[in-house]
Structure 1
Amino acid sequence: MGRLTDNLGLLARTGLGTPLLLIALLVMIVLPLPPMALDVFFTFNIALALVVILMTVYAPRPLEFSVFPTVLLVATLLRLALNVASTRVVLMNGQTGTDAAGKVIEAFGEFVVGGNYAVGLVVFAILVIINFVVVTKGAGRVSEVSARFTLDALPGKQMAIDADLNSGLITQDEARLRRAETAAEADFYGSMDGASKFVRGDAVAGILILFINIIGGLIIGTTTHGMPLADAARTYILLTIGDGLVAQIPSLLLSSATAIIVTRVSAAGDMGSDVVRQLFGSARAIAIAAVIIGMLGLVPGMPNLVFLGLAAALGAGAWALHRRSRQAAVEVLPEEPVEPAGPRELAWDDVSQVDPVGMEVGYRLIPLVDRGQGGVLLERMKGVRRKLSEELGFLIPPVHVRDNLDLGPNAYRITLNGVPAARGEIHPDRHLAINPGRVYGTLEGTETTDPAFGLPAVWIAAEQRDQAQTLGYTVVDPATVVATHLSQVLREHAHELIGHDDAQQLLDRLAKSHPKLVENLVPKVLSLGVVLRVMQNLLAEQIPIRDMRTIAETLAENGARSQDPVALTAAVRAALARFIVQGITDSQEDLPLIALDPGLEQVLQRSLQATGSAGLGIEPRLAERLQRGASEAAQRQEIAGEPAVLVTSAELRPWLARWLRPVVRGLHVLAYTEIPDSRPVKVVATLGAAEGQAATAA
């Protein structure tokens, strides 16, 4: 007897429990079973229902019995398979007497209802009404409402977990466990909503099977076996009533278990091992089931051997489980640590570090970043990182996404090193129609501006997408809007994202193919900090650092003469001249240039020499006219479809770039040394002719 638990453990370890049960169900449906086998299976079916309902009573939480929907389905299939097997035996051998389908059916037909089939019909009808109208209907409604409310509350629960995490009430591990439990709860009640339909359908099937067996038995008994109608009615109706009661009692127990568990979520793992571990894991439930089965076995007229044998096996299994749990508790009982009086001392683990790149979203944008709700923003952001890493030449840090209840429901905010760098607001249920500069009509919607480039745009319904594209608008979904904005912010602030470790990684990769170059550069010629500063200067002006060989060779050649990062950056830019111009335009036509008037350039040179490292000292009205002239020239180039390139001396270039680029969108500032000798050029505009003459005269 004591081997029951060991056999169940073997089935759990090998995962064969559920496949074997499904094979047994198929055998019961296809092959005729002897009456003794029916007795064993019907008794097991009653014991299974008792164990299930007791587990629902003793389970501390529904999550502790997360395989209940699966158990409910398997138990329903077992009961229906037994109905098919017993129906076959009753109709084939019913003429031999009320024991034709085994002792269990005979006992329920003869003893439980006193051998009166009229009483049996009434009792069966009452059980069906209780099961179908009261228990099953109520459990199904509760399952449906619980599933709906649980799924609706899922975003709020996730936000509450993040809020507790952000406020320091819970740790990362506790937040991870709570998120998993929340998702498991939603899965469980969603499964219960569907599983309750099995119980309802089983009750309906019991009624139909009863009438089919009675009508079929009467026809077969009177026509095939020549039995009088009264004898055929008594024999077949008693057999049918016994069969129905044997099936309806476990069905009522499982319906009650369903109602109990849905009024009070799902664990990952192999289904077979989970069923065996959770269903037969409570020694108390199995012991009480053994006592009840044993008491039924002592009732006169019952198949005593089957009931008492199963009761003994369940009792031995319960004792073995109890003894094993006691031994395990003694073995793993840890020594209780002495808790210090007062609050715990702070440690470095309590100091959180800022994320290099972060994104905070309002609560209505959570579905965009939740893969479980079909959110695609995380994949878009991963694509943005991959694309920028390939273009810029170093690994962009991952983006840490979290919700922020202080933001508006549709708002988001991009942070760099913990500081907000950009923000925007989107409508997750709409599309953004961007005006690229020339459209052929207007759209109905909410007017706004594109957060990435500041272009006029309109939030429209998804149904207007085709109409907007026909009018010349560029239409993008909300996830693309956020991803594009993130890409623009990361590109503009790339120099803030690269650090010493990234610079060392780039040099280590270069050392695999050019070991001597890296060995002679760092630290013999330049320190890692100077090399990093040059990389940051290049990225600040949108120049990728993919060509590390040229950068390192130029630094090694010029590092002995100067340690100034600005001078070294100018030397590297001259070495990357073709790469820089190629990034501005890939056209082989003449490169359009905007030049400075020679007189104005001389004035700026003298100003720079006078102020030194303090920068350009320009009279305010002159500075305003120069900025306005550069902006007008850049706009003319944009209308003509050509890049706006301002060319000046190498000394002035860094200062003019720092001064003009923030106010003139799309302006590239190059030095004369940064234009390849083989590249044809044309001057399309000259800035400051009148201002230069006035300043020279002054």
Structure 2
Amino acid sequence: MSSPPALPGPAASGRNGKSGTVPAGRRLATVGIPVGIVSIVVMLVVPLPAVMLDVLIASNIAVSLLILLVAMQVQRPLDFAVFPSLILVATLFRLSLNVSSTRLVLDDGYAGKVIDAFGHFVISGNLVIGLVIFLILVVIQFLVITNGAGRVAEVGARFTLDAMPGKQMAIDADLNAGLIDEDTARKRREEVAAEADFYGAMDGASKFVKGDAIAGIIIILINLLGGFAIGVMQNGMTMSEAISKYSLLTIGDGLVTQIPALLLSVATGLIVTRSTTRGGMGDDIVAQFGAQKHSMRLGGGFVLALCVIPGLPKLPFVLVGGALLIAAQRVPDAMDPRPEPEEAAPPVNPDSPEQLAEAMRIDPIELELAADLLDLVDAGVGGDLLERVRALRRKVAIEFGLVLPRVRTRDNLDLPMSTYAVKLNGVEVARGEAPPGCVLAIGDGLSGLPGRATTEPVFGLPATWVPMEMRAHAEVAGATVVDRASVLTTHLAEVVREHASELLGREDVRALLDLTKRTHPSVVEELTPALMSVGEVQRVLQALLAEQVPIRDLVRIFEALSLRAKVSPDLDGLVAAVRTVLGPAICATHLVDGRLPVLTFDPLLEQSLLETVRQSEAGWYLMLDGARVEAIVSDAVRATEAAERTGRTPVLVCSPQLRAAVRRLISPTLPRLAVLSYNEVPAGLTIDALGVVTGAAVAVGG
């Protein structure tokens, strides 16, 4: 028997999958609260009976007390982000109660049992004492707590807004360094923006509290004067009777509104002064006082010592001092800031198999620093080299699709002072210098600056290491000034680009396959292991990286390999198939103002080269004599240099059958010249022909 069809529309099911009645909490949020706020406004103009006023006054006290307790328990201000809006609603509610009670006091001379009880309790038979106590409460509320909370909120808002750009930059730095991911960075940015909005709202909300205190004082004066006038002039009371009756009602009315206002002012002060804590207020007080056992003992002893002063009562000071000493003894040891002694670690045997294996392990990439360069990695003195290296790993991943192995940074006392070295698989491949206290000024005309002439390690530009204090002079002279950490990081990045293919291990390829399989399982399952092994995929990816071709688009790379591997397992053929698919992306990296600067072979030369192409186990190559090879390479070098003098870095484009062989021919002498096939150049791309390689002479165009 088939089940009945589901009912259409949102009422078919709730968010939790149950039949769709709206939860009670949602009904309160969507209906009850707006109705309540509108009712508060209505109370300003509609008279209320005394019984209902008693209920609303009790509700006002309860809500204010609840807000204060929540403000004490939240771990951070943003956990109570609705607080500024609550201040406005609570203030409006109190003022509406003031208006309703004033109407009853002046009209009937009676405003309910709550106000009457509060008035009798405070006056206690003496009107003057009652008035003095009430005025003291008003002064405390208005001059102390409200003013202080308002000032803290104002300063907090200004400082939070001023610090917002720095916090955003810190988040971006952590993101670039790879310390956090995109989701975490987004959440932190939202928290920074929410914090700025919160303190800005608190700055305005504190004005509500201050205005409420002023309004309360004015309403009290109105009740006193108006009640006295009505009692004497309309009700025929004597002056003493009018003062007694309406003073009692005024004090009672003032107390039932000032006490909630005082609670709300205290809550405001607690919220805006707890920006640096991360726990509830009670936990923070116990933890931070409890962590100072010594201070508590000293305080208790000092209070006990006051007992020796003649004339002072002994019992109060003995009780207080003894309580402090007992509290200091009963504080848990976990709150004591003094660290417990650590257990001695068991001795490590340097000859154990584990330690020997660790000593024998060769890291894929290492950065070694001389002794005087260790400040670059010391965060205590501002060294940020390790953070920059983490950022480099992220940049390489985004640019090439290569997950760079962790760069092991260590000191090497055998290196000359101010020297660093980069090793790949235990073999040094690059070395440079970064003298302490200096910056690298790159450019011509720096002979007038003190320092040591050198060559910039990446681009080979003339440069000078100048003292740090001469940085401004070097910039005025037109030089590009780079700090030591940037020089080292740039050099390391260039080494990584040149040797990217060597850094792609088989485990890395397996990880890339698994990562792609999560989103495109059929693509990976069709390719491996049915058509190609992991090692064969690795060879193709390494060949692409060797020619600076990014391998980020793994899905299309694997799809191209699947189609080509069914025809032939030849490495050059597999690479050519992938390059054809990635052609638009490859060309995009060489565009200059939207145009592709191109060198080509003379048609006769290209035809003759096609006749000399041969295949070996190492791939396709050209069977040419030495003189012919030298002529072709020399012409390519001259054509490339002539094009570069016009400010453009060209690519050499040839037929697909020649591309791999020509690349092997030219790369030892001219590694910066990219070699593309006609199949890799997308239709419609604007070509900028810069020259023709003839093998004997070069014609350069513009």
Q: Higher relative contact order at CA 8 Å, sep ≥6: structure 1 or structure 2?
A: 1
Greater fraction helix: 1
